[in-house]
Amino acid sequence: MIPPLFSRKSLAALALLSLAAVSAQAQDVLISDPPQDHTFGKAALNSTFATQYFSVFNRSSAAVQLGTAGVDSALATCAALGCPTIAPADFMIPGGSDGCSNVVLQPGQGCSTLVIFSPKQPGSRLARLVFPVRGATAVTRTVTGTGLAQPTDCVLDWAENSFRSILTSPTSTITAPPFYLRCYANGAICLGADAAVPSLDQASVYIYQPQATPAVQRLGFLSTFAQAAQCP
């Protein structure tokens, strides 16, 4: 019988060393820019001006093969009123601006990929940006931004500043067709406009108070409030 070149213990040790090398490599590939707390900020619905390049850097001593960069929904969020919405379709990687997909990064080398935040609905939006790493764990970053439904959001900001003692603890703007609205005081009051669905009628502002009769009351035209709030 021909003796094995390596004992079982040697093979096990080699496997552990290989695993450690892959883990170290994964830790040495990172998103170096922008900072971890970066946000796209506020952007009007369907606008495309909120952009940011994300840079991946290889600080290991070996070359690294990246896969195709993408945006997915593999995140956890709360389900309460006003919680952020996982919305991968709001974060786009435009063609011709992706310098990281399927590239090989040599030691000390980096690449950059452009991401555009184009919100489809108002409120807090988030998704997961993913840079796959061949043979190792993908490099990821949670990306966030806030969609603005104008002039509704401008009017709601103005109302909150004007009635601070009543409109407390605001949620982010949410969509409940036909309304864009925010709720306050743990849901005791909701304020919004029926502007979420196209209509031939002028949009109006409404207040919802579950303890009042009637619970929903119309306050006036949205355009009137927008003028009072000096919304652009």
Taking alpha carbons only, the member of 207, 193, 40 closest to residue 118 is 40
What's the chain's Rg over C-alpha atoms? Answer: 25
Q: H-helix or E-strand containing 15?
A: helix 8-27
Give domain status of residue 16, yes or no. Answer: no
Instruction: Let me know if residue 20 belongs to a domain.
Output: no
Is residue 6 in some structural domain? no
CA dist 65 and 200 (Å) reads: 54
CA 89/CA 98 separation, integer angstroms: 17
Structural domain contains residue 10: no
**Residue pointed to by tokens 């009137």:** 224
Joined together, the tokens standing for residue 158 give 């103005």
pLDDT of residue 183: 96
Q: How far apart are CA 61 and CA 65, in angstroms?
A: 13
**Each residue's pLDDT tens digit in the chain (232 positions)?**
444 544 555 544 444 444 344 444 446 999 999 999 999 999 999 999 999 999 999 999 999 999 999 999 999 888 787 789 999 999 999 989 999 999 999 999 999 999 999 999 999 999 999 999 999 999 999 999 999 999 999 999 999 999 999 999 999 999 999 999 999 999 999 999 999 999 999 999 999 999 999 999 999 999 999 999 999 8
DSSP structure string for 173-208:
PEEETTEEEEEEGGGTEEEEES-SS--SSPPEEEEE
Domain end call among 148, 172, 197: 148
Claim to verify: residue 126 and residue 57 sit in the same structural domain = yes
Cα 138 to chain centroid distance, Å, stands at: 18
Domain boundary among 128, 148, 168: 148
Domain end: 122, 148, 174, which one?
148
Amino acid in the structure at residue 6: F
88 and 185 share a domain?
A: no
Structure tokens at 92: 């786009």
pLDDT in tens, 63-97: 999 999 999 999 988 878 778 999 999 999 998 99
Task: Indicate which CATH number applies to the domain containing 42.
Answer: 2.60.40.10
How confident is the model at residue 45, as a pLDDT? 97
Report yes or no on 63 lying in a domain.
yes
Residue 82: the pLDDT is 77
pLDDT of residue 8: 52
Q: Can you give the pLDDT at residue 27?
A: 66
User: Is residue 178 in some structural domain?
Assistant: yes
CB neighbourhood size of 126 (10 A): 21
Both 119 and 170 in one domain: the answer is no
- 69: tokens are 């960069």
Question: Are both 137 and 189 inside the same structural domain?
Answer: no
Q: How many domains does the chain have?
A: 2
Position 26, amino acid? A
Question: For residues 48 and 85, is the Cβ–Cβ distance under 8 A?
Answer: no
Domain that holds residue 156: 152-228
Please count the other Cβ atoms lying within 10 Å of the Cβ belonging to residue 81: 13
Q: Clarify whether residues 47 and 130 are in a common domain.
A: yes
Residue in 188, 193, 190, 184 with CA at minimum distance from that of residue 220: 193
pLDDT recorded at residue 7 = 52
Are 53 and 137 contained in the same domain?
Answer: yes
- The answer to whether residues 105 and 169 belong to one domain is no
DSSP class of residue 3 equals P
Q: What is the pLDDT of residue 80?
A: 80
Q: What is the pTM of this model?
A: 0.82
Instruction: Please check whether residues 138 and 199 belong to one and the same domain.
Output: no
Same domain, 144 and 55: yes
Both 143 and 156 in one domain: the answer is no
The answer to whether position 73 is within a domain reads yes
Predicted pLDDT at 81? 76
Q: Are residues 177 and 222 in the same domain?
A: yes
Residue 50 lies in a domain: yes
